[in-house]
Amino acid sequence: MQSIGFLYPGYSAEDDYPTAQRLLGDSPRLRLVHTEMREDAHRVDALLDIGSDDVLAAGVRDLADSAGPAEEPACDAVIWACTSGSFVFGWDGASEQVAALQEVAGAPASSTSFAFTDACGRLGVSRVAVAATYPADVAERFVTFLATAGISVVQLSTLGIVTAAEVGTLGRDRVLEVAAAGDHPDAEAVLLPDTALHTMAWLDELEQRLGKPVLTANQVSIWQGLRLAGDRTARTGLGRLFTEPPAELPPADSSPGNPA
């Protein structure tokens, strides 16, 4: 059975992963470990610490420790399931972060930030609206990250929430409201970029309300993990991104954010 590991910072919307597991069925297995969050803050210095190599390496060790006796390697793919803790490093820094993660994990690796750019590439999307939970200065860094991949943000809205814990308290009605308010007529898709935000139970409802693809952080993280593990299964109930099998991976020498 395929196994995909997710390194998830702190505690906020980690129950999105059991929700996704129920939608996926028994296979592949989604395995999540919590990485250290010395300070829960959507602030640049705190986010750089959350995504540091030593924190992610410790998370990989926890994944290995939690593996069953027959699982070798521990995971078929590993995802750093934190958007702000990856794009805050910039494109080059986030690429180095993924390379270090892949080396220590001994398996294909990526992060939520690259999952967003790859998902946009898969859907053929180049103009998006971003409905961010972060403070404006952090959200602007995501805009810059997307621009490096050729994705333009036609509208950016921010909630200015400082902690992941608070983001995790937002319920269905508020999430639908945030997505709708963040949309723009020129946007081909709406992005909700925080893995602390619950969305997995409402993906189809979000898209029905907006009439266009909605990409959310935990959704694209799981899609990227399936893709890296070689899963090519079309699925329903997980938004438009999952309705067609993921494309084949780019060549091994491509950058971690090449759309596919």
156 belongs to a structural domain: yes
249 belongs to a structural domain: no
What is the structure's pLDDT at 248?
62
As given in the structure block, the two tokens for residue 49 are 């610490």
250 belongs to a structural domain: no
* Residues 13, 77 share a domain: yes
Percent of the chain with pLDDT over 70: 91
259 belongs to a structural domain: no
* Residues 81, 22 share a domain: yes
248 belongs to a structural domain: no
What is the structure's pLDDT at 249?
57
20 belongs to a structural domain: yes
* Residues 132, 189 share a domain: yes
* Residues 169, 97 share a domain: no
What is the structure's pLDDT at 64?
87
* Residues 131, 47 share a domain: no
* Residues 104, 13 share a domain: yes
Tell whether the model's pLDDT for residue 256 goes beyond 60. Answer: no
As given in the structure block, the two tokens for residue 104 are 């220590």
Mean predicted lDDT score pLDDT of the chain: 92
| 3-class DSSP string for 13-66 | CCCHHHHHHHHHCCCCEEEEEEECCCCCCCCHHHHHHHCCHHHHHHHHHHHHHH
As given in the structure block, the two tokens for residue 206 are 């979000």
0.75 exceeded by pTM: yes
* Residues 12, 95 share a domain: yes
**DSSP result, 203-232:** HHHHHHHHTS-EEEHHHHHHHHHHHHTT--
Beta bridge partners of 156: 130
* Residues 209, 85 share a domain: no
Q: Read off the pLDDT of residues 195-206 as tens digits, 9 standing for 90 and up.
A: 999 999 999 999
Tell whether the model's pLDDT for residue 106 goes beyond 50. Answer: yes
Least confident of 29-33, 74-78, 194-198: 74-78
35 belongs to a structural domain: yes
* Residues 223, 102 share a domain: yes
Residues of the domain holding 155: 116-216
d(CA 82, CA 9): 7
What is the structure's pLDDT at 81?
98
37 belongs to a structural domain: yes
Residue 15's pLDDT band, with cuts at 50, 70 and 90, is very high
Domain count, the chain: 2
For residue 126, the domain's CATH number is 3.40.50.12500
Residue 252's pLDDT band, with cuts at 50, 70 and 90, is very low
Tell whether the model's pLDDT for residue 260 goes beyond 80. Answer: no
- The C-alpha angle 57, 196, 85, rounded to 5 degrees, equals 40
* Residues 131, 198 share a domain: yes
* Residues 174, 48 share a domain: no
* Residues 180, 92 share a domain: no
What is the structure's pLDDT at 26?
85
